[in-house]
Amino acid sequence: FPTLRVVLGDQLSTRLAVITEADRDKDVILMAEVMREATYVRHHVKKIAFLFSAMRHFAQALREAGFNVRYVRLDDDDNSQSLEGEILRAVKALSPDRVVVTEPGEWRLRESFEALRLALPVLFEILPDTRFLCSHSEFNAWAEGRTTLRLEHFYRDMRRRTGLLLELDGKPSGGQWNFDKDNRKPAPADLTIPPRISFRKDAITQEVLDLVRTRFPDGFGRLEPFHFAVTRRQALRELDHFIDYILPHFGDHQDAMVEGEPYLYHSLLSTYINAGLLYPLEVCQRAEAAWHDGKAPINAVEGFIRQILGWREYIRGIYWRFMPDYLDRNALNANRPLPWFYWSGETRMACVAEVVGHTIDHAYSHHIQRLMVTGNFALLAGLDPVAVHEWYLAVYADAYEWVELPNTLGMALHADGGLLASKPYAASGNYINRMSNYCSGCVYDSKVTTGDRACPFNALYWDFLDRHRDRFAGNPRMPYVYSTWDRMGPERRAAIRTQAALHLEAMAQNRL
Ligand code: FAD
Ligand code: DLZ
Ligand code: SF4
């Protein structure tokens, strides 16, 4: 009897046991495009097209390597349109003696696979996802007994455990664990930004683009132009391009934002790493080798490796440790509905319009845009965390719940009460003006807090701090803000509160 081996859309990695242990003569690999996964949030059409094309290319490569693949296309007549339904149908058709799958990256799927395990007439094994560098038990062992779970401690442990950027005597390469103080400068006006690569669209991708165009006519975002790599070979070319031309400048302007420049010096690799086309360890090793070869400075390489070895693994650990109740957390009692401009980009706030515009066009925006523009606005305006979470999960090509949820709920919205970030990432227009050139083209004025031209981020920032004074006043990382607020005097404070209410009213009426 064969083993049925299930590969999900974000598990396109031949190094997973589900593939390496397959018997090419007997076993069958099941992959399925299903409406349930494509519609449980309003995914960006580029994200759907990327995944379906990458899945089809992966299936083709497996067949060429001699594997039996049962590939269910979205439009196949008998498609039950759910992953569980497709596993059941394949079990009926093939009578395997067992089913194996790598654990999914989303709690809801793992739950429904656990339920399926009981319903299936054969053994159903869920294997660990060995692409991650920190297993669930390693993360839990690290977290156990700690009062705070801070990234920096976790990251140093991971450096020691993997030996990345570690000298023989156990000291960090370059003499420091963290070079952040050298990073995060605003972009100078004459910054030159290297071009990005794109890939020829073969018949598979063309067919998928047609499918997505007809089956998701009301989907979010622009389908074309479509630049994504859809095979491992293409993703490796993206990696080469990044290492050679972009990594050397990665750290310098990591937090900068420039109008009309969605990518700057970011790697654009999250979509490929998360779907399995690249392995996180190989990406880190390539960056480390660039430093050894003198091709990239330590601040860039350390900063980049920290994002993957540190943040990415840490975020995943938090997700699995605190789900499912993590999803219900709303420490700041935020409950306003998501304004329409998150979907349309139609707002007079130039910064938000720009970031949502990139998102519509590319299914991408970089970290500081996600955190300090759309995330910061949602935090200050008190938007409902679940609505904000569903937006982030839908609109980015790299979004799966294990990585998106802690970033949104924890890092951006502080809805987990500070489990992930000791201080809320709240900022006024002044920050956005310092880190970007958006404000020069805005009808609002980042230096003005009340009146017609007042930048909404300003009054909303003070109003947010005021609303949550009990929670944040004692925070040792926020020493000056409340004394500044108090020094303003009662009349000014009342005017700012009134202005914040006007902004919120305008937001609700789609006039902001
Ligand atoms: P780079 O800036 O080039 O960073 C290099 C790599 O580091 C990324 O490819 C990614 O693998 C990793 N990385 C960096 N920061 C993080 C982080 N905070 N968490 C996890 N990995 C990180 N990332 C996702 O992969 N999927 C998401 O759905 C997602 N949602 C986010 C939502 C919010 C509100 C915020 C604030 C951040 C989110 N991030 C998410 C993290 C980060 O913004 C993206 O990983 C990054 O923008 C991807 O672009 P890049 O590959 O060019 O990253
Ligand atoms: C995001 C997504 C989409 C759009 N479509 C599919 C699909 O048709 N088939 C599939 O196997 N997976 C899809 N995915 C990814 C899943 O929703 C889910 O996020 C991951 O498999 C979790 O590991
Ligand atoms: Fe954004 Fe305010 Fe600057 Fe306008 S003035 S771009 S709203 S920060």
Q: Does residue 355 line the site of ligand 3, with CB under 6 A?
A: no
pLDDT for 479 beyond 80: no
Task: Calculate how far, in angstroms, residue 212's C-alpha sits from the geometric centre of ligand 1.
Answer: 25
What was the pLDDT predicted at 255? 86
With the C-alpha atoms ordered 347, 348, 350, 352, is the resulting torsion angle positive or negative?
negative
Cβ(455) to ligand 3 under 6 A? Answer: yes
pTM higher than 0.80: yes
CB-ligand 2 contact for 400 (6 Å cutoff): yes
Ligand 2 contacts CB of residue 403 (under 6 A) = no
Q: How far is the CA of 71 from the centre of ligand 3 (A)?
A: 48
Within a domain: 170: yes
Instruction: Name the least confident of 1-15, 442-456, 478-492.
Output: 478-492
| Average pLDDT value for residue range 229-257 | 94
User: Does 183 score more than 80 pLDDT?
Assistant: no
What is the extent of the structural domain holding 433?
341-508
Query: What is the predicted pLDDT for the residue at 189?
Result: 80
Helices H, strands E: what count in the chain? 24, 5
Looking at the structure, tell me whether residues 123 and 149 fall in a common domain: no
Note whether ipTM > 0.90 here. yes
Query: At CA 83, angle to CA 79 and CA 85, rounded to 5?
Result: 60
Q: What is the pLDDT of residue 447?
A: 98
Domain presence at residue 218: no
CA 143 – CA 56 distance, rounded (Å): 39
Residue 91 alpha carbon to ligand 2 centre in Å: 20
Does residue 177 fall inside a structural domain? yes
Ligand 2 contact via 399 beta carbon (within 6 Å): no
Least confident span in 45-54, 190-199, 292-301, 459-468: 190-199
Q: What is the pLDDT of residue 356?
A: 98
Give yes or no: residues 399 and 465 share one domain.
Answer: yes
The yes-or-no verdict on residue 87 having pLDDT over 80 is: yes
Residue 118: count other Cβ atoms within 10 Å of its Cβ: 7
| Residues whose CB falls within 8 Å of the CB of residue 452, separated by 6 or more in sequence, listed in order | none
Q: Find the mean pLDDT for residues 337-349.
A: 98
Query: In this model, does residue 185 exceed pLDDT 90?
Result: no
Nearest-angstrom CA–CA distance, 431 and 101: 46
Residue 334 counted as domain residue: no
Give yes or no: residues 289 and 271 share one domain: yes
> Which are the contacts of 138, defined by CB distance < 8 A and separation ≥ 6?
161
Mean pLDDT of 65-73: 98
- Percent share of the chain, pLDDT over 70: 100
* Res 430: pLDDT: 97
The residue out of 127, 149, 175 marking a domain boundary is 127
- What span, in angstroms and rounded, lies between the C-alpha atoms of 167 and 163? 8
**In terms of domains, do 166 and 312 share one?**
yes
Confidence at 253, pLDDT banded by 50, 70, 90: confident
Q: Which atom of ligand 2 is nearest the CA belonging to 38? A: 4
Residue 173 has pLDDT above 90, yes or no: yes
Please indicate, yes or no, whether residues 251 and 362 belong to a single structural domain of this protein: no
* Number of domains within the chain: 3
Q: What is the mean pLDDT of the chain?
A: 96
* Nearest atom of ligand 1 to the alpha carbon of 399: 28
Number of residues that make up the chain: 512
pLDDT-based confidence at 1, cuts 50/70/90?
Answer: confident
Q: Is the CB of 404 under 6 A from ligand 1?
A: yes
289, 322, 355: which is the final residue of a domain? 322
The predicted structure's pLDDT at residue 181: 80
Which ligand gives the minimal distance to the CA of 36?
Answer: 2
Q: Are residues 415 and 397 in the same domain?
A: yes
Does 227 reside within a domain? no
Alpha carbons 197 and 238: distance in angstroms, whole number? 7
| Nearest CA, atom 17, ligand 2 | 37
Measured distance CA(143)–CA(151) in Å, rounded: 11
37 lines ligand 2 (CB under 6 A): yes
Same domain, residue pair 272 and 153: yes
Give the atom of ligand 1 at the shortest distance from the alpha carbon of 411: 36
**pLDDT above 80 (res 182):** no
> Are 102 and 171 members of one domain?
no
In a domain, 110, yes or no: yes
397 close to 47: Cβ distance less than 8 angstroms: yes
Residues 358 and 477 in one domain: yes
Residue from 369, 374, 438, 511 whose mutation best tests the ligand 3 pocket (most atoms within 8 A of CB) = 438
Sign of the four-CA dihedral 298, 185, 257, 500:
positive
Q: What is the pLDDT of residues 118-172, one digit of tens each?
A: 999 999 999 999 999 999 999 999 999 898 899 999 999 999 999 999 999 999 9
Stretch 326-333: mean pLDDT: 98
Check pocket membership of 311 for ligand 1, CB cut-off 6 A: yes
pLDDT, tens digit (0-9, with 9 covering 90-100), for 12-59: 999 999 999 999 999 999 999 999 999 999 999 999 999 999 999 999
pLDDT score of 223 more than 80? yes
Handedness of CA 484, 490, 492, 497 (dihedral sign): positive
In a domain, 165, yes or no: yes
Q: Which residues pair with 98 in a beta bridge?
A: 3, 123
- Token pair belonging to 461: 């920032």
Residue 351 Cβ inside 6 Å of ligand 3? The answer reads yes
Backbone angles phi, psi at 499, to 5 degrees: -60, -40
- Alpha helix ranges (H) inside 293-349: 298-305, 313-322, 341-344
- Between CA 53 and CA 455 the distance in angstroms is 42
Query: pLDDT (tens digit, 9 = 90+) per residue, 413-444?
Result: 999 999 999 899 999 999 999 999 999 999 99
Give, to the nearest 10 degrees, the angle between helix 490-508 and helix 456-467.
110
* Residue at 103 is within a domain: yes
Q: Answer with the one of 74, 99, 127 that is the final residue of a domain.
A: 127
Distance 22 CA to ligand 1 centre (A): 32
Task: Answer yes or no: is the C-beta of 371 below 6 A from any ligand 1 atom.
Answer: yes
Q: CA 203, CA 127: separation in Å to the nearest integer?
A: 34
Atom of ligand 2 nearest to the CA of 43: 4
